[in-house]
Amino acid sequence: MADIMILYPAMDLIGGRIVRLRQGRFDEVTFFDPAPADALRSFAGAGAAWAHVVDLDGARVGAPAQHALLADLARSSPLKLQVAGGVRSADHVQTLLDAGAARVVIGSLAVRDPDATAALLERFGPERITLSLDVRVEVEPMVATHGWQEDSGLSLWDVAMRYPEARHLLLTDIGRDGMLEGPNHALLAQAVERLPHLAIQASGGVTSLDDLHQLTTDGAILGRAMWEGRLDLAEALDASR
């Protein structure tokens, strides 16, 4: 485990409701009862400092869909929010930062438009932007885009090295997401070694305290295992300190 690991309890939203997808598939969705604002308060009550909130509608269509809700949550949340989904322009980023988001996640744009992404990093600063790369691990970890619906033909290393000025990278192994099989420790360790300029957030497969203890990343996203009660957030936070 990294000396100081930030845990990000994750909240994915479809139509204003909290959901979890299995391997990013919209036909395999599970809904959860808490209202988003209530869930954020419960994260704070467990001791979290951050939360990761995703507009899945926006990610699916490639344009903002629930940004008004994200802005409301950012304004009212006791946590620092890292927000994602459908962010495609400087105006989108500015709106979310103005509402109180601590960081905004750039995903597909970082793959298809390096110049625009570099401009966002320069304008808003590397501490306010998190690059998000979702990979399918074959011979090389290959990046998928548009809510995991399209393959970019580029490797993780091809894309990440475009942005030497970046500071934060959320790295998801699609094959592990929502599968409760543990993270891809080999991939994550390789990323930590090959991308030392980036503070990497491990996403996909974190299921147990042992998973957290084995990670060498700077952060970890907690998703399905937390929502299904397999991993207690308060205990995970204690273990990460």
What residues are annotated to the active site?
Answer: 12, 134
Beta-carbon contacts of 35 under 8 Å, excluding residues fewer than 6 positions away, are: none
Smallest CA-to-CA distance from 29 within 51, 66, 57 is with: 57
Q: What is the C-alpha separation between 81 and 50, in angstroms, rounded?
A: 6
The 10 Å Cβ neighbour count of residue 70 is: 29
- Alpha-carbon span 101 to 197, nearest angstrom: 23
Give the whole-angstrom CA distance, residue 46 versus residue 161.
36
DSSP H/E element including 43: helix 36-46
142-145 long-range contacts, CB within 8 A, separation 24+: 143/111, 144/174, 145/107, 145/108, 145/111, 145/112
d(CA 110, CA 5): 25
- CA torsion 106→208→22→32, rounded to 10°? -90
CB distance 73 to 36 below 8 Å:
yes
